Structure 1
Amino acid sequence: MEGWAKTGNQRGWWLDFQEAVTPDYADHIALESEATYIRSWQPVLIPGLLQTAEYAESVITSGPTFIPSATAARLVQVRQERQKRIQQGGVQFAAVIWEPAISSLASVPAIAVPQWRRLLEAGERHNVTVQMLPASASRAAGAAGPFVSFSFGDEPTAEAVAVENLPNTSVIEVPDDIALYVNVFDRLRSTALSPEETADRIRQLLTSAQHTTGETS
C-alpha cells in the first residue's frame, strides 16, 4: 500500500499543494488517485468528491482549527482536482450519506441549492452511486464514523480503509479490520434509500428551497 501511495502517478498533482495539504491528507489522495473502486460513508458532511466549491469553503473555514483564507482557497482547489477522477470516469464511486448531512443545508439556500444539484448531477453519472440513509435510521448511522474504503484491482474487494478522525485520517490495512468496515458499509447501503429514491428526496428539498426563495429551476 505504501508503494502504491509513493509511486502512484509518479509525481502526484497534490504535491503542487504541499503548503496546504498535510501528510496524512496527501496519503489519502494518493490512495484515492490509484483506486478503481471507492466507497464512502458520511454521517455529517457531503463527501469531498461531491462537494461544490462553496460548500467546501464553508466546511473548511468552519472547522475547529483556524485556516487562513489563502490556505482555504488552496484546499478548495484540491477538492476540485480530486473530483476530476469521477468526472473523467476513472473510478467507480459509491456514497452513502446520512439524511441530516443533506437536509440541514436548507438553512443556507445559497450553498444548499447548488450542492443538492451537484448531488443530482453526480448520481446521473454511470460510475457514481449516491444513496441517502434516512434520518430515522439512527442505529445504522451510529455504527461507525465517516470512512472511505479503496479497492485497487478489477474486483471491488476493499484493500484499505481511511477513517476520519478530528486531528487526522488513519489508514487501515489489516484484512480483519477492513472486513468490519466492509460489513458496516454493506448494511448502510442496504438500509439506505435507493439511488432513485434519494434523487426524488433531494428534488423535494430543492423544490421547497426554491419556493422559499422564489427561485425557479
Structure 2
Amino acid sequence: MPAGGRPTVRSRRLGLALKRFRQAAGFDQPQAAELIASSQARISRVESGHATPRVIEVRLLLDAYGVADSQVREKLEDLAKHSKNRGWWLEHAEHLRPDYLDHIALEDDATYIRQWQPALVPGLLQTPAYAEAIIAAGPDYVAPDVLAQLVKVREARQTKIGEGGASYAAIFWETAVVHPLVSAETHREQLSSILTVAKRKNITVQVLPLSAGVLVASIPAFSSFSFDSEPTVEAVTMENLRGTSVLEAPEDLAAYGNAFDLLRSAALSPEASARLIRDVLRSMKEV
C-alpha cells in the first residue's frame, strides 16, 4: 500500500495506465484479477492507486493486454518499483499540503515541465526574496518559521531544472515584468535572475504581451508534465486559493496541451522576451 494509505502520484499514474490498457484490451476487472491470481478488489485498488502491484504482476497484465512497447513497459515497471520511494520533499511534509506534495512529485519525475502564469513569475523561476514576498502576501497567515521552510522548498524544486534534469518552458504575462508586485530591489533581482536562467539550454522563457489580454483572461495558471522522451502531456496541475488540483483525464490533458501551444504562439519569442526584460531593467536603473 502507498505510504500513509493514500495514493501516491506514482501509484495513481501506474493504476490509471493499467486501467486504460485493460479497457482497451476488452478485459473486465474480474478477468484481470484471474491473470494475476488475485481478486477484483485488488485490481480495483491497483487501478485507483491505493495498492501497488508487484513488477511481475505488471508484466503479466501488460502481456495479457497486448502491450508490447518496451519503453511503455519499462516506464510502468519503474513506477511499480519506485512508487513507495521517499522523496526529498517529504522531509517538509508537516508544512506542505498533500496536494502540493503531489505537484512536487510530478515535477521530480518529469522530463518536460511547462508552466503558464498570468500574474506572477512562475515558481520554478522565483528568487528566494521574490518567493518570500509573494508567499507572505497571500491570504493565509504564514508563521515566519513556516515561511522560511516554504521558500526553502521552492528553491529545492528548482534544482531539477537547474541541473538539466528536465526540459522547462515558462510563459508569463508582461504585467509580471513591467508592474512590480514586490519591492523595486526584489523585482530587479528577479528580472536579472530570469535573464541568467534563461540562457540554459534546457530552459525557455517567453513573455506574453499585454495585447493578449483576452487570452490571458481565458486560461488560468497551470503546469503540465511529461514523463517520456516526447513532450506529450501526461498530467496537469492547477493552483487555486485553497490548493492544487491534479488533472489526468485524456480530454483535460489534450485541452491544456493545446492551451500551452496557443499561449506559446501568441507570446514573444525567447529572444524578444529577453530584450523586453533587459529594457525594463534598464529603465528601472535610470529612475
| TM-score (ref. length: structure 2) | 0.71
Code of the aligned partner of 2:142:
I
| 1:36–1:92 Cα contact (<8 Å) kept | yes
| 2:133–2:182 Cα contact (<8 Å) kept | no
Q: Percent identity?
A: 47
Distance in 2, matches of 1:151 and 1:133, equals 23
- Alignment-derived partner of residue 3 in structure 1: 11
The alpha carbon displacement at 1:109 in A equals 1.3
The alpha carbon displacement at 1:79 in A equals 0.5
Of residues 37, 45, 60, the one that matches 2:120 is 45
Of residues 267, 270, 273, the one that matches 1:192 is 267
- Alignment-derived partner of residue 245 in structure 2: 170
Of residues 225, 229, 238, the one that matches 1:150 is 225
The alpha carbon displacement at 1:19 in A equals 2.1
- Alignment-derived partner of residue 100 in structure 1: 175
The size of the alignment, in residue pairs, is 212
| Unaligned residue ranges in structure 1 (runs of 5+) | 213-217
Residue 284 of structure 2 is aligned to residue 209 of structure 1 = yes
Of residues 145, 165, 168, the one that matches 1:90 is 165
Residue 207 of structure 2 is aligned to residue 132 of structure 1 = yes
| 2:235–2:247 Cα contact (<8 Å) kept | yes
| 1:8–1:30 Cα contact (<8 Å) kept | no
| Unaligned residue ranges in structure 2 (runs of 5+) | 1-8, 14-78
Distance 1:125 1:8, change over 3 A: farther
| 1:93–1:128 Cα contact (<8 Å) kept | yes
The alpha carbon displacement at 1:106 in A equals 7.4
Code of the aligned partner of 1:158:
V
Code of the aligned partner of 1:14:
W
Distance in 2, matches of 1:106 and 1:173, equals 33
- Alignment-derived partner of residue 151 in structure 2: 76
| 1:8–1:33 Cα contact (<8 Å) kept | no
Distance in 2, matches of 1:95 and 1:152, equals 17
| TM-score (ref. length: structure 1) | 0.94
The alpha carbon displacement at 1:182 in A equals 0.9
| 1:150–1:160 Cα contact (<8 Å) kept | yes
The alpha carbon displacement at 1:26 in A equals 0.4
The alpha carbon displacement at 1:32 in A equals 0.4
- Alignment-derived partner of residue 36 in structure 1: 111
Distance 1:82 1:106, change over 3 A: closer
Q: Which one scores higher on RCO, CA 8 angstroms, separation ≥ 6? A: 1
The alpha carbon displacement at 1:45 in A equals 1.1
Distance in 2, matches of 1:18 and 1:177, equals 28
- Alignment-derived partner of residue 257 in structure 2: 182
Distance in 2, matches of 1:67 and 1:133, equals 31
| Structure with greater proportional helix content | 2
- Alignment-derived partner of residue 193 in structure 2: 118
The alpha carbon displacement at 1:143 in A equals 2.1
The alpha carbon displacement at 1:203 in A equals 0.1
Code of the aligned partner of 1:202:
I
